[in-house]
Amino acid sequence: MAPGLSFDAKTLQAKSSEALSLQQYCLAVGMDSVEALASMASSAGHPGLTSALTDATGRGNKAFTGMIAAYGHAYQGLVGTAQILGETEQSNAAMVGGASNQEIPFLNGSGEAWPPG
């Protein structure tokens, strides 16, 4: 992990909920926006305006679909990372608890066991 960065499984889980909420909000706004453009296009009555609104509907749909996918990806990444981090913390705690009477070697920057011996 890079110096100065720390992660907490609970924080990651909370942030994943925020990403999911943003995805759901984006979905609602996107559906409303695209539906409004489609309705305007169908009732415009002017070929040029109808064409422009239809094009805007397609572009809006594409943009919101991309944002929804991005929020979904962020959510899945945060949940997965939180799960891995939580499992790693549990595994480390079990290892330390089970090795309380043993010396636990750590690797230094060059890959050698520390303390030496």
- 70-103 residue pLDDT tens: 999 999 998 888 888 888 888 888 877 655 444 5
Give residue 98's pLDDT: 58
pTM of model > 0.85? no
Lowest mean pLDDT of 22-31, 58-67, 83-92, 93-102, name the range: 93-102
Q: Which of 106, 73, 89, 67 is nearest to 9 (CA)?
A: 89
Number of domains in the chain: 1
Give residue 21's pLDDT: 92
Q: Is residue 2 part of a domain?
A: no
Q: Is residue 34 part of a domain?
A: yes
Q: Is residue 59 part of a domain?
A: yes
Domain of residue 21 covers 10-91
Q: Is residue 112 part of a domain?
A: no
Asked whether the predicted pLDDT for residue 9 surpasses 60, the reply is yes
Lowest mean pLDDT of 3-17, 72-86, 97-111, name the range: 97-111
